[in-house]
Amino acid sequence: MRGLVSAMYRSITLAGTRTPGRETDRSDTGHLIGAVSLHIDAWDYLAAELGYWIGVPWWNKGFATEAANAVLRFAFERLRLARITACHLEENPASGRVMQKIGMTRQPLPRVAEKGGQPIRLIDYLLTRETWSAKRIVNRWKASPLALVT
């Protein structure tokens, strides 16, 4: 996915640019359909929190997963970060599904926080560079023609 990367206050946003019906047209860079952000921890420069949103008309087309994967690669290969965290509201399973699809591991216990005076339950996810690298090697091996021989 082509995108605009901007860095401000240790936070990076990748903006997607596709139009319905032209998903495979790599020259289509004129439309903002969502964003993925990476907020680097102020106290731990090897860690960052991943966030994303996609405009409603483009939901469930794989865009968040594709863009988040691109940002993960940037975070681990270029920024050399060690850990990426993400969290979602318990009542937002689509966001959790994206975290699962990009290889993040759900943490065992929900976290209780507060929003507008009301308690909210958050589900935390974690991905380390070691786990990400190992999964990439396994996926490459599965996609290799040699895998068919065995």
Ligand X SMILES: CC(C)(COP(=O)(O)OP(=O)(O)OC[C@H]1O[C@@H](n2cnc3c(N)ncnc32)[C@H](O)[C@@H]1OP(=O)(O)O)[C@@H](O)C(=O)NCCC(=O)NCCS
Binding positions for ligand X, rule: CB under 6 A: 52-54, 59-65, 88, 92-95, 97-98
User: Which CB atom, from 59 or from 144, has the smaller least distance to ligand X?
Assistant: 59
Do 63 and 16 touch, CB atoms closer than 8 A? yes
Q: Report, in Å, the least distance between residue 113 CB and ligand X.
A: 13
Q: Report, in Å, the least distance between residue 50 CB and ligand X.
A: 9
Sorted by sequence, the CB contacts under 8 Å of residue 39 that are 6+ apart come out as: 10, 11, 48, 49, 51
Q: Report, in Å, the least distance between residue 69 CB and ligand X.
A: 9
User: Which CB atom, from 24 or from 150, has the smaller least distance to ligand X?
Assistant: 24
Tokens found for residue 129 = 């560079």
Q: Report, in Å, the least distance between residue 107 CB and ligand X.
A: 14
User: Which CB atom, from 95 or from 132, has the smaller least distance to ligand X?
Assistant: 95
| Residue 54 buriedness (CB in 10 A; 0-12 / 13-18 / 19+) | buried
User: Which CB atom, from 51 or from 76, has the smaller least distance to ligand X?
Assistant: 51
Q: Report, in Å, the least distance between residue 16 CB and ligand X.
A: 9
User: Which CB atom, from 83 or from 88, has the smaller least distance to ligand X?
Assistant: 88
